[in-house]
Amino acid sequence: MNAPIPIPSASVKKRRISRGWWLKQLHTWHWISAAVSLVGMLMFAITGVTLNHAASIPATPKVVDRSAKLPASLLRMLKPTPKASDAPMPAPVAEAIAGAVGLDPSGRAAEWSDSEVYVAMPRPGGDAWVSVDRATGEIKSETTSQGLVSLLNDLHKGRNTGLAWRLFIDAFAAAAILFTGTGLLLLQFHAKHRKKTWPLVGLGLAAPLIIAILFIH
């Protein structure tokens, strides 16, 4: 005679339902955060390697110089020295410069001296500047590009990238934290059936700590 099949108690059923609900939620948020942060994690991982070996990666800077002449009607706007030493150029002057040499100094802090107005325009993977002679109206500009690797490295560091990119890095970091956090909780759920889970997690924690303690001085 077959033994009767045990019927789970209400508390056991409740625990199973609760476990199933949490697993479903964790898997959902884990794959969503993975999808959102996938490309970003790949880019940051690759640029982590390029930054670590920056000295051995060759770069040939490309420099482009341009010059033009500011019309006399606009040059008059640069004659008065503004009260603030870092005041931006007047908007019409900035627009004329952008059209003449392809660099737009609009709204950027400028350095006003007796002889010229100079605007530094650093950018990821390179540099740029433009100046206007306050006596002659001569416009000079220079753009330097360090190449794709330098661009990606600066994007990794958020160097000279502006507000939009910094906000993206914050959003990406939040998605990556959610991805790793849900991954850790999923490990907790499945560790009972995967005995190597916590030793591997411990190795991932111990390895950088040991290297930092022993080899970084």
pTM above 0.85, yes or no: no
Please give the residue that has the higher pLDDT: either 14 or 100.
100
Strands (E), the chain: 62-69, 111-112, 116-120, 126-133, 138-145
Q: How far is CA 172 from the centre of its chain?
A: 9
- b or e along 174-204 (b: 16 or more beta carbons within 10 Å of the residue's beta carbon)? ebbebbeebeebbeeeeeeeeeeeeeeeeee
d(CA 136, CA 126): 29
Listed residue (57, 38, 61) closest to 49, CA to CA = 57
107: left (phi over 0), alpha (psi -120 to 50) or beta: left
Read off the pLDDT band of 5 (50, 70, 90).
low
Label residues 52-76 b or e (16+ Cβ within 10 Å = b).
eeeeeeeeeeeeeeeebebeeebbe
pLDDT digit string (tens) for 74-109?
999 999 999 998 999 999 999 999 999 999 999 999
